Structure 1
Amino acid sequence: MKNSTAGTTISTSTTIAMLPLLPSLLLCLLSLLYFLLARAKKQRSSATTATPRKLPLPPGSMGWPYIGETFQLYSSNPNTFFALKHKKYGPVFKTHILGCPCVMVSSPEAARFVLVTQAHLFKPTYPASKERMLGTKAIFFQQGDYHARLRRIVLRAFLPDAIRRRVAGIEAVALQALHSWDGRMINTFQEMKTYAFNVALLSIFGKDEISYIEELKQCYYTLEKGYNSMPINLPGTLFHKAMKARKQLGHIVAKILSSRRQKKAVADDLLGFFMESKEALTDDQIVDNIVGVIFAARDTTASVLTWIVKYLGENPSILQAVTEEQEEITRSKEKGGGEVSLTWADTKRMSMTSRVIQETMRVASILSFTFREVVEDVEYEGYLIPKGWKVLPLFRNIHHSPDNFTDPEKFDPSRFEVAPKPNTFMPFGNGTHSCPGNELAKLEMLVLLHHLTTKYRWSMSGSESGIQFGPFALPLNGLPMRFCRKT
């Protein structure tokens, strides 16, 4: 394939080479059409049995039959789609994406209504294929008493009182990662994923399951490759390979569970909390939640760290302020004659670095929105949101609104010297389904940034810039960078 100023041309040999792929492409398109038709039929059926509408639907457009406005949302920067809709229809509007009729809300008050005050009317929802892949008993897909029990367990493992004992282990993982980057050109996002993965495994399994970890990693990598594939469970497809890997992941975690029970070991990691007899979780429930936590802990944290590296590189004065803060921590420890290694108390002195993390999460808005499903007809602001429809609080819109943040496109950590207005900053979501691992995520970022800024320099591989969305917002091509140790 060649690019020219006149357009894109495809050679005859390339066309011939593509012919064997046409049946597969046709199968994918037919599968997608079948999925959208089935979903549309289901939605029409539920609409006919719902309570007669006495209120109008929110304003908006539903796009093409079956397809809706999916391509408009996912083919470019979602900011463009959201901004056009907000300008035309206001902060509450209807649309149709991924085969589902939806209402999108982009005000802090509406987000709070959906996620906090009336959360019982809006259940978390994911495509069925994603639930199968992660595990239908995982915390993301639950409501009610079972969800509350799972959340309590995860919080016990990830609240400050628990994770303060993990600083030394996380620091060892960070130092190992940075050492492996020295003098190399790396894909920053991929390396940050590896770092976040290793921290997640340490927090879940501790240090005593080394014999199983490498096999577990390889299975998870296969699972991950199929996560965003078409849900066609035929031999040779990414989805089929992913489902086989998911089954093997279950076997590995089951072996770890058996080993711990034989040793009668008491551990303070997440797996240990899940295994406590008073929680009465089945092995299947434990496996689903372990896989789910790995998924949640990896890509989002890695995305934020990738953006931090980019923003610091583009803002030398901010990088200098962070470096000076971290160097002062190192100097004070050396003068005191105490441990050179970081402690929990040290991370509480990283106020400038913490503001950089907050501002990065606001500007980058890794999760543009979240999905909820209406469990019964809901009235909001004089509009009807019918049962079965999806509701999407738009975090990205809220984080980039000039009503909430002055000069919102500017990267300015100093804005967090004052607490933001309520419900305007939600990088970890809000309400009972907000991320229970947010304290661990912040800790692993602070530890890595301490050693990164005090010991290393980095530079971009070229002048290209841009954002890609798939599904997380990322710098183009994962941000290729060269890292070198300071001399």
Structure 2
Amino acid sequence: MVGSLVFVFIFLFSLTSYLSLRRGKREPQRRAKLPPGSMGWPFIGETLQLYSQDPNVFFASKQKRYGEIFKTHILGCPCVMLASPEAAHFVLVTQSRLFKPTYPKSKERLIGPSALFYHQGDYHLRLRKLVKGSLSLNAIRNLVSHIETAADSALDSWDGGRVINTFQEMKKFSFEVGILAIVGHLKDHYKEELKKNYCILDKGYNSFPTNIPGTPYKKALLARKRLSQILSDIIRERKENGLVEKDLLGCLLNSKNEKGEALTDDKIADNIIGVLFAAQDTTASALTWIVKYLHDNPKLLEAVKAEQKAIHKLNEGGKQPLSWSQTRKMPVTTKVILESLRMASIISFTFREAVADVEYKGYLIPKGWKVMPLFRNIHHNPEFFPDPQKFDPSRFEVAPKPNTFTPFGSGVHSCPGNELAKLEMLVMTHHLVSKFRWEVIGSENGIQYGPFPIPQQGLPARFWKEFTSRKESRVPTHSRF
């Protein structure tokens, strides 16, 4: 049950947003009508309905009733929801200039106002080119052995049969890889300070945004200041040593605009923290779902094991490192990853805001309204993916129809680090299935959000190296591999 404080917060937030919207509201043009749908109660709209049930059920029921374009009112904002590939492509690609990214100011304060995903125009294009270039296929191919080391270290720490929170452990792994790709090999004290303060920021990101001392949000703001200082020290040291690296930090430091101006340290810090934030939870969530889906599909697990153990054998039982070319030749595992991304839909939707009155298929999207392409609804549409609730990697033997599969978003604001994320998943899966067996604790199949979807309780599980013996656990377990 949603707590009373949450209801009070939702009401006050919605009331404030509603009154602000009313002050700047103008009459919509008469040439087009608003999409069908319900705006719910005054002030609070349908926010309580959304948060009192699975968001996917909420959106799916709306689509079933009103079609692929419908309106609602959540978190104080009138919204138009889009559940068709064509509509999502219209907003994110062909007419992206008419829809700007939008985030709460409380979130911007924690990440940094200069982070690329808060912007449009020339600044965004410049930063996106830098980020995408530093995380391109050519750039990350040299990271395979380092990602292997991180995966081995993570898995070794899980060995022995103690119950772990799979999601939290995957977050530690993805943080290590993120740091490696973004700022390279750091001194231990820098890495520990980054990790400690980033963890505080992460915990406060989705908390109630208040400046009261001792609250998670206030702690997160203080941690954000410390992160800026740590990064400033790293930047100063790299400049003093005259190091020219090809990681993201190196790309940002060496960049100059058409006037010959370099990025300020604050802008560099905002973008480093932004990329790290965007990369960690999403990749960790996807990896956690991969563990669960393999757990739930024993025959499929055996097929993935056979593929990865063949590579493991070629590498003399792990004595030789995994090569870049080997990661490009994992067809079974790759299809499992793609199907996991479709089923879980880590990025279930995205927020945009109309910067002008926009007409689409006879419907009006008024200026200032939020627009939400619903990726999950598209990924679970039986028209594009037959029997969508069934985990079936073979569906990716044929490429999906255009714009129907967008696990990393679409258009100029799609994830620039998607190739790094997929490489992480391939390397971790290789080491997991070729060296370990595991059992998932409990039998819950629900989903929780924080904000990305993860299995209930982060998927508690026990892991053992295959060549080690173990005593039977006293805790009831399910599906051992």
Which TM bucket (shorter chain)? over 0.9
Q: What secondary structure is seen at the aligned counterpart in 2 of 1:76?
A: coil
- Picking from 186, 189, 200, the partner of 2:167 is 189
Query: Structure 1 residues 160 and 253 mapped into 2: Cα distance closer, same or farther (>3 Å)?
Result: same
Identity across the alignment (%): 60
Q: Conserved in 2, the CA contact under 8 Å of 1:370 and 1:393? A: yes
Q: Conserved in 1, the CA contact under 8 Å of 2:89 and 2:410? A: yes
In the alignment, what sits opposite 2:141? Answer: 164
- The letter for the 1-side match of 2:79 is C
Q: What secondary structure is seen at the aligned counterpart in 2 of 1:334?
A: coil
**Cα deviation 1:158-198 (Å, max 9, x = unaligned):** 00100001111111000000000001211000000110011
In the alignment, what sits opposite 2:22? Answer: 44
In the alignment, what sits opposite 2:474? Answer: none
Q: What secondary structure is seen at the aligned counterpart in 1 of 2:35?
A: coil
Q: Conserved in 2, the CA contact under 8 Å of 1:53 and 1:384? A: no
Q: What secondary structure is seen at the aligned counterpart in 2 of 1:360?
A: helix
Return the alpha-carbon distance in structure 2 between the equivalents of residues 208 and 463 of structure 1. 41
Return the alpha-carbon distance in structure 2 between the equivalents of residues 206 and 368 of structure 1. 31
In the alignment, what sits opposite 1:348? Answer: 328
Return the alpha-carbon distance in structure 2 between the equivalents of residues 277 and 447 of structure 1. 31
Query: Structure 1 residues 78 and 33 mapped into 2: Cα distance closer, same or farther (>3 Å)?
Result: closer
In the alignment, what sits opposite 1:306? Answer: 288
- The letter for the 2-side match of 1:216 is L
**Shift in Å, 1:30:** 5.4
In the alignment, what sits opposite 1:465? Answer: 445
**Shift in Å, 1:32:** 4.6
Residue 380 (structure 2) pairs with residue 403 (structure 1):
no
Residue 298 (structure 2) pairs with residue 316 (structure 1):
yes
- The letter for the 2-side match of 1:162 is A
Residue 126 (structure 2) pairs with residue 149 (structure 1):
yes
- The letter for the 1-side match of 2:406 is M
- Picking from 176, 179, 199, the partner of 2:156 is 179
RMSD: 1.7
Q: How does 1:271-350 map to 2 (within 5 A)?
A: 271-278=249-256, 280-334=262-316, 340-350=320-330
Q: What secondary structure is seen at the aligned counterpart in 1 of 2:463?
A: strand
Q: What secondary structure is seen at the aligned counterpart in 2 of 1:64?
A: coil
Return the alpha-carbon distance in structure 2 between the equivalents of residues 37 and 211 of structure 1. 46
**Shift in Å, 1:34:** 3.5
In the alignment, what sits opposite 2:479? Answer: none
Q: How does 1:203-242 map to 2 (within 5 A)?
A: 203-242=181-220
In the alignment, what sits opposite 1:440? Answer: 420
- The letter for the 1-side match of 2:177 is V
**Shift in Å, 1:281:** 1.1
Return the alpha-carbon distance in structure 1 between the equivalents of residues 319 and 459 of structure 2. 34
Return the alpha-carbon distance in structure 1 between the equivalents of residues 443 and 414 of structure 2. 37
Structure with the largest fraction of helix: 1
**Cα deviation 1:221-240 (Å, max 9, x = unaligned):** 11111111111111121111
- Picking from 235, 257, 268, the partner of 2:235 is 257
In the alignment, what sits opposite 2:475? Answer: none
In the alignment, what sits opposite 1:98? Answer: 75
**Shift in Å, 1:332:** 2.6
Q: Conserved in 2, the CA contact under 8 Å of 1:209 and 1:256? A: no
Return the alpha-carbon distance in structure 2 between the equivalents of residues 84 and 160 of structure 1. 40
Q: Conserved in 1, the CA contact under 8 Å of 2:13 and 2:75? A: no
Return the alpha-carbon distance in structure 2 between the equivalents of residues 32 and 74 of structure 1. 10
Q: What secondary structure is seen at the aligned counterpart in 2 of 1:278?
A: coil
In the alignment, what sits opposite 1:107? Answer: 84
Query: Structure 1 residues 263 and 373 mapped into 2: Cα distance closer, same or farther (>3 Å)?
Result: same
Residue 104 (structure 2) pairs with residue 124 (structure 1):
no
Q: What secondary structure is seen at the aligned counterpart in 1 of 2:371?
A: strand
**Pairs aligned (count):** 461
**Shift in Å, 1:461:** 1.2
- The letter for the 2-side match of 1:195 is F
- The letter for the 2-side match of 1:127 is P
In the alignment, what sits opposite 2:13? Answer: 35
Gaps of 5+ in 1: 1-7, 9-21
4+ aligned runs moved over 6 Å, structure 1: none
Query: Structure 1 residues 187 and 403 mapped into 2: Cα distance closer, same or farther (>3 Å)?
Result: same
**Shift in Å, 1:291:** 0.7
**Shift in Å, 1:113:** 0.5
Q: Conserved in 2, the CA contact under 8 Å of 1:46 and 1:388? A: no
In the alignment, what sits opposite 1:5? Answer: none
Return the alpha-carbon distance in structure 2 between the equivalents of residues 57 and 51 of structure 1. 9
Q: Which one is further off, 62-71 or 176-185?
A: 62-71
**Shift in Å, 1:464:** 2.6
Residue 259 (structure 2) pairs with residue 268 (structure 1):
no
**Shift in Å, 1:392:** 0.3
**Cα deviation 1:432-463 (Å, max 9, x = unaligned):** 10000000000011111111000000101122
Q: Which one is further off, 59-68 or 300-309?
A: 59-68
- Picking from 411, 421, 441, the partner of 1:431 is 411
In the alignment, what sits opposite 2:476? Answer: none
Q: Conserved in 1, the CA contact under 8 Å of 2:354 and 2:369? A: yes
Q: What secondary structure is seen at the aligned counterpart in 2 of 1:56?
A: coil
Residue 61 (structure 2) pairs with residue 59 (structure 1):
no
Return the alpha-carbon distance in structure 2 between the equivalents of residues 246 and 29 of structure 1. 28
Residue 348 (structure 2) pairs with residue 368 (structure 1):
yes
- The letter for the 2-side match of 1:452 is L
**Shift in Å, 1:474:** 1.1
Return the alpha-carbon distance in structure 1 between the equivalents of residues 293 and 8 of structure 2. 42
Q: Which one is further off, 37-46 or 250-259?
A: 37-46
Gaps of 5+ in 2: 468-481
**Shift in Å, 1:150:** 0.5
Return the alpha-carbon distance in structure 2 between the equivalents of residues 77 and 386 of structure 1. 28
- The letter for the 2-side match of 1:261 is K
Return the alpha-carbon distance in structure 2 between the equivalents of residues 472 and 63 of structure 1. 25
Return the alpha-carbon distance in structure 2 between the equivalents of residues 277 and 356 of structure 1. 38
Q: Conserved in 2, the CA contact under 8 Å of 1:77 and 1:469? A: no
